[in-house]
């Protein structure tokens, strides 16, 4: 992998394992413009790099990520929320969704297996991201939330496509429709994470050890396993992503979404009216 200074990530490589760490901005490693621009580039480079055989994905500081940076993305959301937003604006917004999806898809499609290590909060887009990983470990303090419903959005970065295959339809629908938070113990019980460890250090050590085990295996066989495993579900995931991109381009703009964004800026609970 070529030397590259990223704004939203740090990337280190040693002994066949790459570590990709979300670094902000802010204490919650929120997903703003830099994140969405850089994510597909980071994983495209890792996919091409023959020295990389496995990837560990983690967040800097005390959290994995607080999810989408609503204030940071306000410039992208603003035009489609305008009262006169018609076909051209909605088409550009549709293209934006597809570009953002391409980043999470790059994680899922990377031939090098990805192990997610989660501590602290993993909200909204964070769940999209970790469901694109091959498997997940968590610290005891980890908390997960499919939060999009709470901000008047249909999750469109992959959670609705990938999470049902990981935790089952009933658990998935509960989380997507309520937007409630779950702790690491519940996440392990329903299969969202494979194992739970005492703290962040132990979680990262476990992820590194698993990645090292993978890196020691024949790389072309590992690539083949991923290709075979992904073959049966790729068409369904792609179809779901295309559908939700079109859905949100058509139906995302609402008074409720404007209220959700305003409530974030004003640091208060939103009052949704269904309009």
The predicted structure's pLDDT at residue 100: 95
Q: Is 88 exposed, middle or buried (0-12, 13-18, 19+ CB in 10 A)?
A: exposed
CA–CA dist 123, 113 (Å, integer):
22
Cis preceding-peptide flag for 37 (omega within 30 of 0): no
Give residue-wise pLDDT tens across range 187-213: 999 999 999 999 999 999 999 999 999
- Per-residue confidence at 59, pLDDT binned at 50, 70, 90? very high
- Per-residue confidence at 1, pLDDT binned at 50, 70, 90? low
The predicted structure's pLDDT at residue 16: 97
Give residue-wise pLDDT tens across range 206-263: 999 999 999 999 999 999 999 999 998 899 999 999 999 999 999 988 989 889 888 8
* Residue located via tokens 């790389």: 219
Helix (H, G, I), strand (E, B) or coil at 22: strand
Task: Return mean pLDDT, the chain.
Answer: 94
Q: Quick one: what percent of the chain has pLDDT higher than 70?
A: 99
DSSP assigned state of 81? H
Whether the pTM exceeds 0.85: the reply is: yes
Average pLDDT over residues 87-114: 95
Could you count the other beta carbons within 10 Å of the beta carbon of residue 230? 14
Of 250, 247, 101, residue with least CA distance to 162: 101
Give the residues across from 56 on adjacent strands. 19, 115
Of 129, 140, 145, 201, residue with least CA distance to 177: 145
């Amino acid at each position: 992998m070529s030397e590259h200074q990223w704004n939203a990530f740090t990337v280190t490589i040693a002994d066949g394992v790459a570590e990709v760490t979300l670094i902000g901005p802010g204490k919650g490693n929120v997903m703003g413009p830099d994140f969405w621009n850089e994510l597909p580039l980071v994983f495209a480079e890792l996919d091409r790099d023959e020295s990389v055989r496995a990837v560990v994905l983690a967040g800097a500081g005390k959290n994995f990520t607080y999810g989408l940076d609503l204030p940071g993305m306000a410039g992208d959301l603003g035009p489609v929320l305008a009262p006169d937003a018609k076909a051209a604006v909605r088409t550009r917004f549709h293209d934006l969704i597809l570009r953002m999806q391409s980043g999470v898809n790059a994680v899922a499609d990377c031939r090098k297996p990805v192990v997610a290590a989660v501590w602290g909060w993993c909200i909204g887009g964070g769940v999209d991201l970790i469901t694109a990983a091959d498997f997940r470990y968590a610290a005891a303090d980890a908390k997960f939330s499919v939060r999009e419903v709470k901000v008047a959005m249909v999750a469109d970065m992959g959670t609705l496509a990938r999470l049902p295959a990981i935790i089952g339809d009933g658990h998935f629908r509960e989380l997507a429709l309520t937007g409630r938070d779950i702790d690491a113990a519940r996440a392990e019980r329903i299969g969202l994470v494979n194992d739970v460890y005492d703290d962040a250090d132990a979680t990262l050590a476990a992820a590194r050890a698993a990645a090292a085990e993978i890196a020691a295996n024949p790389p072309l066989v590992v690539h083949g396993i991923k290709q075979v495993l992904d073959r049966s579900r790729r068409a369904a995931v792609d179809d779901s992503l295309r559908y939700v991109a079109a859905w949100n381009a058509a139906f995302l703009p609402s008074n409720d979404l404007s209220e959700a964004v305003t409530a974030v800026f004003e640091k208060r609970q939103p009052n949704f009216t269904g309009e």
